[in-house]
Structure formats: C-alpha cells, structure tokens
Structure 1
Amino acid sequence: MRDGSTEPTPEMVDVEDDPSALRSTFALFPSGVAAISAVVEGEPVVLVASSFQVGISLDPPLVLFAVQHTSRSWPRLRTAPRLGVSVLGEAHDGAARQLASRAADRFAGITTTTTPDGAHLVHGAPVWMECSVHSEVPAGDHDVVLLRVHGTGTVPDTEPLVWHGSSFRALTPRSAP
C-alpha cells in the first residue's frame, strides 16, 4: 500500500526473469473474440483471434488483429480476396472452442453465410465485417494484420463473447437504473 491507499498494489516482475508473468498479465486484459474466415479453394478456413481491435482508422476504415507466425490458417486466409470477420457473441462459447481447434471440420453444426466474394461469416454474431488485407507488419513472434473494412452488419442487442483470464466469458448485462 502507498499514499494511504487501502487498495492492493501489484508487485512489478521482470518478464525476462519470469516469462510466464507476461502471459499471465496479458490474460488479465479482456478482449472480444473474432472468427476470421473465408472460403479458400472451395473450403472454409478460419482462425480465432482474441487480439482483434476496431476503431483503428475511419479513413480508410481499418481494423486489426495479431496472428502467430506458427498459424496454419493464416497463410491460406491471406490469399483470399475477402475475409469475413464475425465478432462472436456470448452464445458462441462452444463454437469458439470448436473453430479454434484442429478438428477436420471446424464448422460442423455451425450455421454460416458466405458472401459472393468468399467472406465466410458465423450466424448469431453481434458484428459481421467483410474485409480485405490492407497490410501486415512483423511484430515479434506475431504479425499485426490491418484489414480494410468493406461492409458491416450488426445485431446490437447480442451480447459479446469476451476472452479474459485465459477463458471465454460473457458480460453481465447492466441493470436498468
């Protein structure tokens, strides 16, 4: 405690001395969960990103996510003319796990729509975006990918799925005043 505060204060840990501290710290930042998908060579390909960010730029309209260099899906997805971004809703907890798995058919039992340009979207998501790759920037063991947004669809009353504490969670709706 310092400055008379009764709130606990964290102890700083050197991440070079304890690399697991960085992963634990990152896990405490809540983020939305997005399925990024397209039909490539006649087959739907997907990756699930908890690093997805909106509001990067309005002119041009850009969003971003980070993808590990070890991703098997991204090399295939980056070739698609359009990518579907489905910001997953609270009802997608099981679907998010399935889409992120290494299962042969990750979309089994999941209802989807494909746009004429091949963007692949998950039904029940509060946000849909049709995007194309704008640019990629190397960032350590990941690449930061900027996507240009070409179209959006929203269902504002659908609660989002959140990644926090290394697990999927739902937001608790606010009580009416």
Structure 2
Amino acid sequence: MNKKTRFIVGLLLLMAPLASQVAQLSHHPKTLLRCEAEITARNRYGPAMEPAAVLKAKMYFFLYHNGTGFIRLNGFIERQEKTYVLNRELHYVYDTPGDEAAEEDGGGDGYTLRFAADRKHAGDTVPAPLWATFLQSEDPRISYHVAVEHVLGNLYVVSTLQSPTFVCRRY
C-alpha cells in the first residue's frame, strides 16, 4: 500500500465516528414540547368503589414532531395504607386533527394519543389493576384526547377529557 492510499484510509477511519454521530443527530426527532409537572390524582378502586387510591408523581411530557412522544412518571400510589412505587415511561403515537377541525374549535392544539408501550423501570411496584384505574396505557386501542395551550412564558396548560387540567413548565 502506498503512502497516498494509507493516508486516505487513515483519514476515512478518523472521519467515520464523526459521520456516525452526525447521522444519528439527523435521525433524532425534533422536540415540539418538553415540559414537566407535578400531578396528584385520586381514584376509586375496584368494582365495589373501595376508598380512593392517590397518585402523586413528577411527570415529564415529551412531544416530538414525527407523531411520537413519551411521558415519564416518577412517584408513588397510596391505597389502603400501602405505598406502591411508580417508575415508568409511557410511549405514545399521536394524531392531530385536520385543518377543518382546527378552524371549528379555534385551536388546532388538540392531539389524540394512543399508548404504544408501557415500560416499567426498576422498582416500579404498581399492580396492573391499580394502574388501570388511573390510565389504561396497556391497551393501544384506547385513545386519549389531549389539548395543549401556551399560557405565558414557559407555562403550558395540558388537559384531557378524562382527567383534570395541569400546568406544565417547559424546560
């Protein structure tokens, strides 16, 4: 191998990791919204409507331009003097209403979410039946309408038909 060939091969070997990183950055989805909130929710549990279960968690909401996103939840659920650790990611796909729907309701800020994956992380001890009283994230056939409205500065109001409105701080 002559000097010129070795130089070109060496240069290509040095540039390969850089090209790989640039390619990964171009495939990473653009973030439309990334915000955090502290949520508290109370639900009745079971068919006999037993006393309430209370969910308290820090929520991180990610919405990407490519029709995907995820919600990260870290917190706990208390029910009948038992505490369950909540540590999971809920990956979703979403659709936005057409232009006609946006004109009708004056917004265009609505999204229809369908959960694609419910990933429990280490330490998550919430039983599936208890979790389902708050959110049915394990059934991809169920969709949720979510409205996101910019309020002021880095604050957004996120609301759904099933649950109360909460304020989400963009970061």
Report which of the two has the higher share of strand. Answer: 2
Q: Of the two structures, which has the highest relative contact order with CA contacts closer than 8 Å and spacing of 6 or more? A: 1
Specify which structure has the higher proportion of helix.
2
